Every structure is written in structure tokens, then in C-alpha cells.
Chains A and B, each alone.
Chain A
């Protein structure tokens, strides 16, 4: 029997029809949200538009290590300061969490009962206590440090107080640029040496002391150059003047609290990922490499880790994304990140909530997509290459 739903019995037509329907409904919903929003904004006499970005902010942001910020600068600059602060805590946090996570993941598998139990307790604690509480905990500890006038002095040059960690600031004098050029050249040449040594080993089996020669190139050569040029580097020491230390470099407790909480929290997850990765490599691999006489450290570095990485990297990427997004909790301790500075203070001073939030969301989206993009490239490079 042919029904009059002839078109519907065609699978291709049906699938196109339903897909169009879904897209259409989605577009309609979006249209509805946008019209409702703009209608209500207009009705409540709330001005919209992007021109507020060019208006002077009127408030100060003290934590801006990369850009100088004055109250006469625009809201747009508030945005850039926020992005840089978000990136600062995310990048340093990701690096620290990765290092800590790898170490802990390996220690967790150690045959030493006490060590592996301690890591277990650490992991369970930091994974199961909300991150916000951890941030506030670290901050509360940090502001209980001595007051600025009673700062702890470490090695005569570092000062620790509840205003942060003050250290000498290096001042690069003329001639130091030669040293930096030497360091860059040394880095490039050690990279080339590494490649050459690998090729030679593949061909002839002879090994080359890559590590020690690289160390020599990167550290010793610039150091000799540094002294030949007459040490073109001096330090500005922080000095207690009036209310605060003047001069020197300072790391604020708000940043330290964020950095510690984010990296310690994420490291717990990463250590579990690393542990899972290592355990995914079959026991036979380890036994086989031991049988051909490889050293324990080589087994780990040459056999286990490269295979484990295939399992580790995809979930590691999502931990990086989590850490970056979690950095938006900086508002809890007054860390001037993107959400606190632009999405908070600017939003509140201008009242342009929708615009500010749209910009902040688009920014997080771009940062996350960028991280995913590079991690995906890295992931592809470590996958098994079928030969």
C-alpha cells in the first residue's frame, strides 16, 4: 500500500526534513531570546551598545603586572588587563599542575606504602573539597602572615608579609641584550644537537652527551659572556617606605592563593590521569624492557611514558580547560582577572551587563578553543605511527 506520506517513506528526505526542523526551531528560539531581551532592555530604558568600551574606567586596578593601568584608561584596557591576568594565572597554574601531577601520579604507583598512601590522601582531599573553599582557605592563611612592618626577611633580600612576597627586581643594563641573544642561540643549537645526535644514534648506535653539552651551552657560555661584559645586571631591592615596600618585584597574596589552589586542585586530577595512563601500558612491556637490560629510569622514559601519553593527553587537555575556566573564581579573593575586572567592576560601573558578559564568554571560548587546538596537534604527534 502506498500511503500519501510518500515523501516521508524516503529516508533521505526524512532526515533532511527533521534536521531542517531542528535548525529552524533553534533559530526561532534564538530570535525569540534576542527580541525579548532587546525589547525588555528598551522598555527599562537601559542603553545598549559598545561605545562604553571607549569611556574612561574611572577606577584603578593595582594588580596589572604587564600593562600600566591608570584610572583615566578605558574599559577596553580593563578588558586587556583582565585577559592578561587570567592568562597569567592559567598558564602558570597549568605548568605547575602538570609537573606536580606527573610526579604525584608516578609516586602514587611507588612500591613504598607510606608514599603512595600519602599521595592517595592528598588526591582524595583536594579532589573532594570544592575549589572555591580551597582558594579561600589559602587566602585566609596568607593574610594571617605577619603585617608589612613585621615582614619576615629571608636571605636578606626577600620579604614575606600579608601584602605578598617582595623580591629584588633585576634591572637589565646595556650589554645584557648580548647575553640574552647568546641564550637564544644556545637554545637553538642544543635543539639542533639533539636532533643530530638522535640521527647519529639511529645510524651508528653511538651516543652523544646531549644533556651535559646543552647545559654547557645554555648556562656556561652566556655566564662567561656576562662576566666579560662586566656584569650588566643590577638589582633594585624593595625598601620599606611609609605604608608599603617601594621598589622590587612583588607577588600578591591574591595571585599566590589562586595559583596554589588551582594548581594543587588540578594536580590531583592530573595525577590520577597519569596513574591511569601508566597502568594502561601492559605489564609485558615493562618486563620485556627489563629483560633486555634497560635501566629502571630508561624503562619509564623510553617505554612506559611514550605509550602512556596516548592515554594521558586527551583528558589532560580537559584539565587544562578546567583550570583556565576555574581561574574565574579569582573574584572570591579579589584577584583582578577577566571576570572580576571587566565582567565585574566595568559591568557594574557601566551597567552594560549583556555586552560585558558576551565579551567575557567569547574570550573564554577563544582561550579554550586555542588550548584545545594546540593540545590536539600535540596529541596527534604522540599517537602510534603505523609503519
Chain B
């Protein structure tokens, strides 16, 4: 019997194909990256049909790290509900899908969050005509909420804590949320504050909507991979860190070539001039150079997708570098 079981185990192993994601990706020739069904600023097709956004850049950065080519990525859309099964089953190699890092997802679901690419918090958006100025005035309101999210749980906690009632209208995607909110089926839409800004920017008249001041939760959003494949986890983690470190060191997509002859040791290490950090990751030695060259540093990606000059108008806030009043911090590159 034991022998039979072990035969099954071997066969079963053959069916579960995640021995080494990095090798799988290299063999396939492109990266499969799970993103949202469309959230402007994070991942949404732009005017030319190209995926753009902070999360889309994260996917591209990993593709650049592996292949040196930002186009070697297939974007796969996932809903709040389908994202985890999609990752667990190997349909995608990684998720960059404004997903909150929580203990249960990290531990119980068998995933590994490799970092944070956006520090967010849950907020509320209402029509300005309602004259509401605080979330505690929302007693009896109908709230649109995406199911299967941490925001759903925070919402229940917040109203319970404040002893006020609400009626939840469960929706699946951000688009459904918009539709119901704009039609007046719900009074309030709650999701991460960044998502609210994105939704507001998409409204025909953004001034008709206000985001309430309360931020009721911590939502560290970051890319995640399957637990147990540490090599692949390292590749994704350091692709993100490379962008953050590049900002710290003042390396941008424009000056990266000039920086190759810098005299700062960490710059030379990051760009692969000194040391063999690329080989340690089983990547080419100029992987970080390519990320910065083709995608840019964290700040460039932020300003282009969600920053104050975009329709989302989100100030850096918590997402500024630790040296500039934020909490964005990457371990040293050495």
C-alpha cells in the first residue's frame, strides 16, 4: 500500500508543474501576470490598448528582469474572487493586482507577498449632493462593496464599531461598482482610496463625487507569488526593490546610461557594473539596468500612473521614500 501511495505521489507530482517557476517562464518565452479587470492607474488598457499602470509596470519590470524585454508579458485579468485560484493553479506566474497583504493570505492560502508597491487604505466615496462630510454619518446607507476582498471585512468591522447600520450591495468588479454607484443603486462606494480616486477620475463629472476623509484600514498592496518557490519569489521581490533603490539613488530611465560610470558603489552594483548579483538570481547581470532603462524607477512609474499630474491625483503620502517622509523602504543592494 505504501508503495502504491508513493507511485501516486510521483504521478501527482508530475501533474503539479511548479518545480521552478523561473525555468517555466524562461522556457515559455513570456511572463503570465495576473492583473485587475481594469483599474485606471494600476492596470487598465490605455488609449492604444496597451496595459498601463503601477501594477502593469510591476509585471513589465519582472518581464524585463527575465527577458530584457518589456513586451514579453501576457496580462491575464482576474476578479477579486478568481485571483487566488488563478495564481494557486499556476495559470499565472505572479499577481500584481492591488492585493492586500494579510496574514491569512500569506499563510493559509499558501502565497508569498514579496513586497509592497502601494501603501493604501480603505475609504468611502459619496455623491457630493448628499452633503455627507464623515463616514460616521452614513447610518442606514446602501454601500457597494466588492466581494471577496479585505475591504468587505473592514466595512463590517467599521460599522459595527461605530454602532451604525448599513446595507451591503455585493458586486464583483470595479465596473459593476461604478455602474451601481452612478445609477444611485447604492449611496456609497467603498474600496481602497486609490481605487476610489480611479473611479472618481472615470466619472463624467468628477466634482460631483467626494472621497470622505476617513481611512479605515491599512491596505499594503503588493505583488505575490506561490509559496515555496523562493527563487522565483526573489526575482519578483528584487525587481520591485530595484525600482525603489533606483529612486533612492537618483537613477532614472533618462540618466541610467550616464550612471553606468558613476563613482557610487551601490549604483555600480545595482546596474551590474560591479559584482554578479544578476547571476545569483539566475538572471543576466544587467537586469536592473534594463528595468530602469525600460520601465523607470519607482517614482517615474508612480508619477506617470497615479501621481498628482494624472487624473487620479494621488499625492505620494505614505508612498514617498523613507527619506522623504513616507515609508517606502527597500533593503540595501549589496
Give residues in A with beta carbon < 8 Å to B. 31-32, 35-36, 39-40, 43-47, 58-62, 71-72, 143-144, 147-148, 162-163, 241-244, 246, 253, 331, 334, 336, 340, 344-345, 348-349, 351, 353
A144-B12 contact, Cβ under 8 Å, with A71-B156, A242-B139: no
Residues in chain A near residue B183, CB distance under 8 A = 143-144, 147, 162
Residue B48 at the A interface, CB < 8 A? no
- The answer to whether B140 and A143 touch across the interface, beta carbons within 8 angstroms, is no
Bound complex: CA of A344 vs CA of B85, how far in Å? 12
Residues in chain B near residue A45, CB distance under 8 A = 107, 110, 227-228
Residues in chain B near residue A58, CB distance under 8 A = 152-153, 156-157
A166 CB to nearest B CB, Å: 13
Residues in chain B near residue A344, CB distance under 8 A = 81, 147-148
In order of increasing CB-CB distance, the 3 nearest A-B pairs are A348-B148, A71-B156, A147-B184
Bound complex: CA of A17 vs CA of B271, how far in Å? 70
Residue-wise, chain B 104-148 has the 8 Å CB interface mask toward A (1 for contact) of 110111100000000000000000001000000011111000011
- The answer to whether A39 and B148 touch across the interface, beta carbons within 8 angstroms, is no
Residues in chain A near residue B184, CB distance under 8 A = 147-148, 162
Stretch at the interface among B164-172, B202-210, B313-321: B164-172
Residues in chain A near residue B160, CB distance under 8 A = 71-72
- The answer to whether B88 and A244 touch across the interface, beta carbons within 8 angstroms, is no
Residues in chain A near residue B84, CB distance under 8 A = 348, 351
Residue B41 at the A interface, CB < 8 A? no
Residues in chain B near residue A36, CB distance under 8 A = 8, 11-12, 15-16
- The answer to whether A163 and B142 touch across the interface, beta carbons within 8 angstroms, is yes
Residues in chain A near residue B148, CB distance under 8 A = 344-345, 348-349
Give residues in B with beta carbon < 8 Å to A. 5, 8-9, 11-13, 15-16, 80-81, 84-85, 88, 104-105, 107-110, 130, 138-142, 147-148, 152-153, 155-157, 159-160, 166-172, 176, 179-180, 183-185, 187, 226-228
Partner of B168, one of A39, A60, A242: A60
- The answer to whether A59 and B12 touch across the interface, beta carbons within 8 angstroms, is no
Residues in chain B near residue A331, CB distance under 8 A = 172
Partner of A351, one of B108, B138, B169, B179: B108
Of the candidates B167, B226, B227, the one having the most CB atoms from chain A within 10 angstroms of its own CB is B167
A144 CB to nearest B CB, Å: 7
Of the candidates A32, A58, A340, the one having the most CB atoms from chain B within 10 angstroms of its own CB is A58
Residues in chain B near residue A144, CB distance under 8 A = 183
A45-B227, A348-B147 known; 12 new pairs, CB 8 Å cut-off, are A32-B8, A43-B16, A44-B228, A58-B156, A60-B168, A71-B160, A143-B185, A144-B183, A243-B139, A340-B170, A345-B148, A348-B84
A59's closest neighbor in chain B, by CB?
A: B152
- The answer to whether B185 and A162 touch across the interface, beta carbons within 8 angstroms, is yes
A245 CB to nearest B CB, Å: 9
Residues in chain A near residue B166, CB distance under 8 A = 60
Bound complex: CA of A336 vs CA of B167, how far in Å? 13
Of the candidates A31, A242, A336, the one having the most CB atoms from chain B within 10 angstroms of its own CB is A242
A334's closest neighbor in chain B, by CB?
A: B170
Partner of B110, one of A46, A336, A349: A46
Partner of B147, one of A243, A244, A345, A351: A345
Residues in chain B near residue A246, CB distance under 8 A = 140
Partner of B140, one of A61, A72, A241: A241
Residues in chain B near residue A72, CB distance under 8 A = 160
A44-B226 contact, Cβ under 8 Å, with A143-B183, A348-B84: yes
Name 30 interchain pairs, CB-CB below 8 A, sorted by A. A31-B8, A35-B9, A35-B12, A36-B11, A36-B12, A39-B8, A39-B13, A43-B16, A44-B88, A58-B156, A59-B155, A60-B168, A61-B168, A62-B168, A143-B179, A148-B184, A242-B139, A244-B140, A244-B187, A246-B140, A331-B172, A334-B172, A340-B147, A345-B147, A345-B170, A348-B80, A349-B152, A349-B153, A351-B104, A351-B109
Partner of A40, one of B12, B142, B157, B171: B12
- The answer to whether A62 and B167 touch across the interface, beta carbons within 8 angstroms, is yes
- The answer to whether A253 and B185 touch across the interface, beta carbons within 8 angstroms, is yes
Bound complex: CA of A31 vs CA of B5, how far in Å? 10
Bound complex: CA of A40 vs CA of B16, how far in Å? 7
A32's closest neighbor in chain B, by CB?
A: B8
Residues in chain B near residue A148, CB distance under 8 A = 184
- The answer to whether A46 and B88 touch across the interface, beta carbons within 8 angstroms, is yes
Bound complex: CA of A71 vs CA of B160, how far in Å? 8
Residues in chain A near residue B153, CB distance under 8 A = 58-59, 71, 349
Residues in chain B near residue A334, CB distance under 8 A = 169-172, 176
Of the candidates B5, B153, B176, the one having the most CB atoms from chain A within 10 angstroms of its own CB is B153
Residues in chain B near residue A242, CB distance under 8 A = 139-141
A246's closest neighbor in chain B, by CB?
A: B140
Of the candidates B88, B110, B170, B172, the one having the most CB atoms from chain A within 10 angstroms of its own CB is B170
B64 CB to nearest A CB, Å: 28
A243-B140 contact, Cβ under 8 Å, with A59-B152, A144-B183: yes
Partner of A44, one of B8, B105, B110, B176: B110
Bound complex: CA of A32 vs CA of B12, how far in Å? 8
Of the candidates A61, A241, A351, the one having the most CB atoms from chain B within 10 angstroms of its own CB is A351
A149's closest neighbor in chain B, by CB?
A: B184
Bound complex: CA of A32 vs CA of B7, how far in Å? 10
Of the candidates B9, B12, B185, the one having the most CB atoms from chain A within 10 angstroms of its own CB is B185
